[in-house]
Amino acid sequence: MQSPIIDYLDRVIAETDHIDSGALADYIPELASADPSLVAVALSTVNGTVYASGDADHRFTIQSMSKPFAYAAAIETHGLDAVLNRIGVEPSGEAFNELSLDPVTGKPRNPMINAGAITTHALVDGNEGAGVERMLDLFSRLAERSIGIDEAVAASELETGDRNLGLAYLLHSSRALEQDPRAVVAGYIRQCAASVTVRDLALMAATLANGGVQPNTGERVFARATTRHLLSVMTSCGMYDAAGDWLTTVGIPAKSGVAGGIIGVLPGQVGVAVFSPRLDPHGNSARGVEMMTRLSDDLGLHLMEASRPARSSLRETFRTTIEGEPTTVYVLQGDLVLSSIESLVRDIIEQPPTTGAIVFDMSRVDEILPVARRTAADMAAKLIDEGHRISIIDPENTLPGFGDSRGRRVERIQPVDR
């Protein structure tokens, strides 16, 4: 049985199929040859379960989505104060590759634009020339697989990297960069050429959503304070000169890359990633922005959306007999959002009910978001298709007019005893 969460992600891809605006990053020859029809979306809960749809196993380069993780690594290595002495945290309001530094401080304005990212890489690298290996090791620990370099993309970017090299020399002249500019730019470009999938990125983002702890391994990769600071900078600076529009419409910390990827983080709940190679004028994936907007609207991801902390929606499961028929009862609780109802869906799929009759007890449910309602309806449809009879206990009428996703009614019954 396929999870209804994957069904939902399938719909996100299908409903954005009409978007063909934007252009490939043709200033990097290897990226200019990408297949513009590729598309993928993935999300990972803070318990490490990853759901994905589309070309989810297609590998593309991480590009500027590496910047947040490098910045966090620099803070972990040198401490926040030392990093802030080199790199500011103010939105630039300019393009990601602007040839300028803050006129007052002489520092890069923030770590999400190229000038700041080059400085960040130098901090991770130190004077040992091991920055790329450190970043690949970090990516691999976050994604739970070995991450390597797309050498073709790295070579292509090195051949066309004059602007980044100009930034590095500007930084060197202002004493914001102490190492050899050419060596730092070469390392930074290789960092950006790390080869990932949306599954990798969703899990990496989920580590940030989980306060810096990798959801599956339990490793504390980043301190909680580092993660909080990073997410704040991503919120204000992660989408370049489109950051204000992004914050008001999508409303989550995010970072894009010119290969067509975007990652987003809802603290405490999920990490999300999308991929589509065509870019808008800001350098962000055109279709990816629309997919992220739909995810935010449907899943209630916006940071300014008032909600209670996510927890499992499943309070308990027990078997009883109702009118002589063996019945499995799922007792739900709290607010039903995607991250809370996901645990119920996963439990049903991994441990299918063995009784023909199933009851969902909604007595302890306070509120249900639209995406949770849709997911519950899809789950009910799958269970009905497999021959189960579904009933709900809903004394507060939390689910008025509830039926499965095909409009088939679900019986309402009174509370039951064990």
Q: Which residues participate in catalysis according to the annotation? A: 64, 67, 188, 240, 258
Dist CA 89 CA 180 (whole Å): 24
CA–CA separation, 201 and 180 (whole Å): 31
Question: What's the rounded Cα separation, in Å, for the pair 253 and 230?
Answer: 9
Number of residues that make up the chain: 418
Contact 194, 135 (CB under 8 A): yes
Nearest to 135 by CA among 62, 237, 224: 62
Q: Which two tokens stand for residue 325?
A: 């028929």
Under 8 Å between Cβ of 42 and 56: yes
Dihedral angle sign, alpha carbons of residues 61, 267, 364, 369: negative
Residue 87, both tokens? 């790199």
What are the CB-based long-range contacts (under 8 Å, 24+) for 173-176?
174/101, 174/106, 174/107, 175/106, 176/86, 176/101, 176/106, 176/107, 176/108, 176/119
